[in-house]
Structure 1
């Protein structure tokens, strides 16, 4: 929030220390009780006509323009291509307060915060990371345990920032994958999981063409985030096998990528495809993070996350079936 606006609010409230009282002197449960009563009273004054007006103008509550049939069909396609090693789970609509800010260093203003010390899921990979860490902790009776936890979800997320794209809503469906495990040395965990997840997305995109969403000219771009130290192993153990198995796909290193630096560590990747209009689009973003290291206080933990915006894909690649 703008500092001058905050000063004005505190001044008009007539309680200069109001913010300090709410943040520092009230415990989470007491603050929750106070705010629940505030909004209970406010809700009691809302008329039906005001409710309808709010529904029609609030960007957070308008329904998606994607057809339910298209979303359901695409989810069915996803599960048909998902390896049995992955467990598909249905997430709660909310997660603990700080899920984004604490591990992903995302500003809380970009998240829809609730009154009950929770926040609406803004990025499913953050929540999958929590679940991965919880399951990995159960394995930590043996701290050398390398058993991998693989999770996947298709979830509607809500983000607080206003998008500049015309017609864009703050909520959209996201396909998210996470695989967590322990460092295996020689970058083996990293290269094998990259092959695993990139291969899955390529299968999904290929199969989508059979369902009215043709995509072609696939391009996989991997970025070494360790100043070139991993370029050779990424080329030999990820890009070369991908190119050998998919002769029509361009597989390359992308040392000039700027997005994701500071968010991802080790390596990250993009997958691009071209639609029938000849427009190449970035569809999948993924990379390694330190989230499970932070959650489990164990520097040997490894985590690969990735995601595909379902409605964005349906919108720009759909032919026989409408996306948005």
Structure 2
């Protein structure tokens, strides 16, 4: 954090000081800022030669091809989709989402997302975009639950450690949105469905050791966890500020391959505390 602050202070001095930042960050309307930045990018791109572009391509981790061969990824995608029930609608998501999609819904630092100059950002997690689509559908017809899925190549700006860590990767995501009907009926029904779909998808990819591990974040959800075909995981350190009520991880092929849980995104998007949302995802690159 200190290194980032020092770099920001240095750049700010070169750019003209806090007054410049105030104009760009707040006082300049969004459309005008986009116009300015588009012209800046056009000016800078004109100064680039083909050799400059090739040099950038050679060392920029965000633009390098996937490390996992295409046919392996495709086989894993097909296997995962074979486990998806017909009742869950499969969408083809756009590669970008509105600016703030990831940081406004979940506690995600905007610097971990690739922001664009057109008030959008590169997809970092398909569950966020699926939540937006679910909110629109729930607003149009609040009487019907929304069950959606997607396969999406996403990009994340933070650096990950380990052999199976990539700057961009494919996620298979499932979300279910609906209304609280009492007695934790929504949570009990759809948590079981998500775990069944995800573990079946892992097995379809050859993960005979598919396993779900569940963490209860709210004691009221103990009864939900008790009905699930999952191993208790009370000491899970991550996800406690991201999920509410209950969350889970999916394991297979000797590694962690998926994650999910309940979030309050549609409740906040629609301004209705009765709205419920369950999200989950599998990493296809790790399953291939």
**Of residues 228, 231, 234 in structure 1, which corresponds to 2:222?**
231
Q: 1:166 to 1:69 in 2, by over 3 A?
A: closer
Segments of 5+ residues of structure 1 without an aligned counterpart are: 210-214, 243-250, 315-324
Counterpart Cα distance in 2 of 1:193 and 1:290 = 15
TM-score, normalization by structure 1: 0.84
The answer on 1:58 being equivalent to 2:60 is yes
What whole-Å deviation, never above 9, does each CA across 1:270-309 have from its counterpart, x for those lacking one? 1222x3xxxx322221100000001000000000000111
Q: Aligned match of 1:161 in 158, 163, 181?
A: 158
CA–CA distance in structure 1, aligned partners of residues 129 and 171 of structure 2: 13
Trace 1:1-324 onto structure 2 (pairs within 5 A). 2-140=4-142, 145=143, 147-166=144-163, 168-209=165-206, 215-226=207-218, 228-235=219-226, 237-238=227-228, 242=229, 251-273=230-252, 275=253, 280-314=254-288
Q: Which stretches of structure 1, 4 residues or more, deviate above 6 A after TM superposition?
A: none
Give the gaps of 5 or more residues in structure 2: none
Deviation at 1:178, TM superposition (A): 0.5
**Maintained 8 Å contact 1:60/1:169:** no
RMSD (Å) for aligned C-alpha atoms? 1.5
* Alpha-carbon separation, structure 2, partners of 1:76 and 1:6: 45
Matches of 1:222 and 1:168, distance apart in 2: 24
Deviates more, 1:14-23 or 1:153-162: 14-23
Task: Give the match's secondary structure for 2:153.
Answer: strand
Structure having the higher Rg: 1
TM-score by length of 2: 0.95
Q: Please tell me whether the aligned partners of residues 231 and 253 of structure 1 are also in contact (alpha carbons under 8 angstroms).
A: no
| SS of residue paired to 1:175 | strand
SS for the counterpart of 2:189 is helix
Q: In 1, Cα distance between the equivalents of 2:202 and 2:6? A: 48
Cα offsets for 1:66-92 (capped at 9, x unmatched): 222222222222222211110001110
